[in-house]
Amino acid sequence: KVGYRDIRCVESGGPEPGVGCAGRGVITSINFLEENGAYEDIDYVSYDVLGDVVCGGFAMPIRENKAQ
């Protein structure tokens, strides 16, 4: 959705608590955005993800050079 000053915002959810891997949801969301052209013609991308969960899946975007 395009908002104030042409800012585009997206929110995605993850699995129910205690079921599945939230990290997998993060990488699935990023892949979906890439496949649908969300990163075309933009200057900056910011992610806000859970940081208090111990899950290797949260490292996937970093390993694939999709985040720093």
Mean pLDDT value of segment 3-22: 77
Map residue 24 onto helix, strand or coil: helix
User: How confident is the model over 20-65, as pLDDT tens digits?
Assistant: 676 777 778 888 888 988 888 888 877 776 655 556 566 666 666 6
**Structure-derived torsion over alpha carbons of residues 16, 60, 10, 68, reported in degrees to the nearest 10:** 140
Q: Residue 35: its pLDDT value, please?
A: 93
- What's the confidence (pLDDT) of residue 45? 79
CA distance 67 to 29: 13
Does the pTM of the predicted model rise above 0.85? no
Note the pLDDT of residue 33.
86
Question: Where exactly are the structural domains of the chain?
Answer: 4-63
